[in-house]
A and B are shown apart, each in its own frame.
Chain A
Amino acid sequence: MGNLLAAVVSAEAADSGESKSYIQQMFSSDGFHAPSIAEFFPPAIFGDGTIYEFNRIMLIRVIAAVALLAVFWIAASRAKVVPNRFQGGIEFLLDFVKDQIVEPVMGHEGKKFLPFLTTLFLSIVAFNITGVIPFLNIAGTSLIGLPLVMALWVYVMYLFQGVKKHGLGGYLKNSLFPPGVPWPIYFLLTPIEALQVFILRPATLALRLAANMIAGHLLLVLCFAATQYFFFEAAGAMKAMGAVTFAAGFAFVLFEIFVALLQAYVFTMLSAVYLNMALEEEH
């Protein structure tokens, strides 16, 4: 892996040394380059080396956020009693979070958290879907930073709500000492529960989203890099293989759209479940 990374980096350095045009560089290379983790660390646009480093992925996040805000701004400013198709689509998204996630998991108590969970769902959809939009081509959530911020938001939210409702002692007793087991079991159960509540829940929330997007992006890059290699460099009959990898790449694009929506659903659903666990009475 390390060797591969070094090879990719040195190959890029060699390419930039020569004065090739962008098109030439796209359609000529020496052999097949498998995608690597270096995909997710593109060169900086400005502020290189400082904490304000701004690269392609940051730019895509800004574009996705602006697009999300613009769509909802337009929908809200033109809202009518009888919705047209555009407004109908937006209302479908909002109703989806309410009817499919919040109501079944949290019941009527969840109404308070509906704006929070809807924001979470829609922003994750927006940041995920950039992974399949042409010319953006990488999900805003494919670096751990953004999922981490979202997971920490959920983490602070459920801890705060739990402590607010039951008090600090009540919340810890509720979540660390589940009733209905003989007391020696607590030696085993309490550390596991503590690990769950304080570390594993936010960590897995962030990791699940980021890892799904990383895997999806690598899959797409692999398929289309192989297509390019087969079409322009492979000899003779091997060119036909390019059609296969292209079809696979197209299928994975559709699959990635599904995954982007599914991960937003799973993230929001789990956030609702964790909030509900923190709020519910003695179980």
Chain B
Amino acid sequence: MDTTTLAEVSGNVATIGYGLAAVGPGIGLGILIGKTIEGMARQPEVSGQLRTTMFIGVAFVEVLALLGLITGFLFT
């Protein structure tokens, strides 16, 4: 009995990997920066310190997405 193919993926499935890898860090950055803005709006006087801390956190979250980008080139 023949099966009917409705959808087919050709080529390398790894190419969708970066899309998946960007989802988590995207959500993370949204929460991180949103919360920082919230904190700045509540207490503008500590905004300098909040911004510094935010950038340190952003750097850690962002590197996950970048690892996704690099592995796309490494493991093909």
Enumerate chain A interface residues (CB-CB to B < 8 A).
1-2, 37, 104-105, 204, 207-208, 211-212, 214-215, 265-266, 269-270, 273
Please determine whether B59 and A211 come into contact, CB atoms closer than 8 angstroms: no
Of all chain B residues, the one with the shortest Cβ separation from A265 is B55
Q: Which residues of A contact B41 (CB under 8 A)?
A: none
A103 CB to nearest B CB, Å: 10
- Of B15, B52, B63, B66, the residue contacting A215 (CB under 8 A) is B66
Q: Mark B46-67, 1 if CB is under 8 A from A, else 0.
A: 0011001001101110110011
Please determine whether A208 and B73 come into contact, CB atoms closer than 8 angstroms: no
- What count of chain B residues pass the 8 Å CB interface test? 20
A87 CB to nearest B CB, Å: 27
Please determine whether A269 and B56 come into contact, CB atoms closer than 8 angstroms: yes
Considering the chains assembled together, what is the distance between the CA atoms of A269 and B60 in angstroms?
Answer: 13
**For window 2-40 of chain B, which residues contact chain A by CB distance below 8 Å?**
12, 14-15
Q: Which residues of A contact B60 (CB under 8 A)?
A: 204
Please determine whether A211 and B56 come into contact, CB atoms closer than 8 angstroms: no
Please determine whether B73 and A207 come into contact, CB atoms closer than 8 angstroms: no
Looking at chain A's contact residues, is the secondary structure mostly helix, strand, loop, or mixed? helix
Q: Which residues of B contact A270 (CB under 8 A)?
A: 56, 59
Considering the chains assembled together, what is the distance between the CA atoms of A86 and B74 in angstroms?
Answer: 44
- Of B49, B59, B67, the residue contacting A104 (CB under 8 A) is B49
Q: Which residues of A contact B67 (CB under 8 A)?
A: 207, 211
Of all chain B residues, the one with the shortest Cβ separation from A99 is B48
Q: Which residues of A contact B49 (CB under 8 A)?
A: 104
Considering the chains assembled together, what is the distance between the CA atoms of A105 and B48 in angstroms?
Answer: 10
A12 CB to nearest B CB, Å: 19
Please determine whether B76 and A204 come into contact, CB atoms closer than 8 angstroms: no
Please determine whether A269 and B52 come into contact, CB atoms closer than 8 angstroms: yes
Considering the chains assembled together, what is the distance between the CA atoms of A214 and B60 in angstroms?
Answer: 18
A-B residue pairs, 10 tightest by C-beta:
A1-B76, A211-B66, A204-B63, A266-B59, A208-B63, A37-B73, A104-B52, A211-B70, A211-B69, A269-B55
Of all chain A residues, the one with the shortest Cβ separation from B72 is A1
